[in-house]
Amino acid sequence: MKKKQTEHNFFGDVYDVVRLIPKGRVTSYGAIAQYLGLKSSARMVGWAMHGCPAGIPAHRVVNRNGLLTGKHHFKTPDLMAQRLRREGIAVVGDKIQHFGDHFWDPAAELSINEPIRRKTRPKIG
DNA sequence: AATCTGACGGGCA
DNA sequence: GTGCCCGCCAGAT
């Protein structure tokens, strides 16, 4: 059976990665894109989230600055921040505090069996 | 068909 | 540090 080529598995992969984000951790659109081999297409990750099914912890995906740029797409604009706070993440003015501390890089933590050690992490926070 | 937009990110001034 | 521009590519108008 042939599937539509325009319907890349990329979208499904995005949801899969987002599902794997641990509670209390966050990642960025670009990090997911890079993990999927589309490093320059972070926008597509954001666009994929546009149609994300229920049950996807989309609130754990923010932009590279730790800003809750997608909050406006939730049922209520404050839902994203509230969910993050409920997981122990401080959010002030749509900005995640200590972003580097909560950052979860799929490329670094999904493919390596070694202990987690981030050598380079966002300098925000 | 052409053009603009967008839940983004990196590079450069 | 901030601000601007470019690349990315699917959808909407």
Higher pLDDT, A45 or A51: A45
Distances (CA, A) of A97 to A25, A93, A104, A121: 12, 10, 14, 14
Contact A92, A102 (CB under 8 A): no
Residue A46 contacts residue A18 (beta carbons within 8 Å): no
Cα–Cα nearest to A35, from A44, A22, A24, A23: A44
Q: Which nucleotide is closest to A48, CA to C1'?
A: B7
Return the higher-pLDDT residue of A120 and A31.
Answer: A31
**What pLDDT is attached to residue A2?**
47
What Å value separates CA A38 and C1' B9? 12
Cα–Cα nearest to A103, from A35, A25, A20: A25
Q: How much is the pLDDT for A5?
A: 52
Q: What nucleotide is nearest A40 when CA is compared to C1'? A: C8
- Which residues 76 to 95 of A reach strand C, CB within 7 A? none
Find and give the residue nearest to B7, measured CA to C1'. Answer: A70
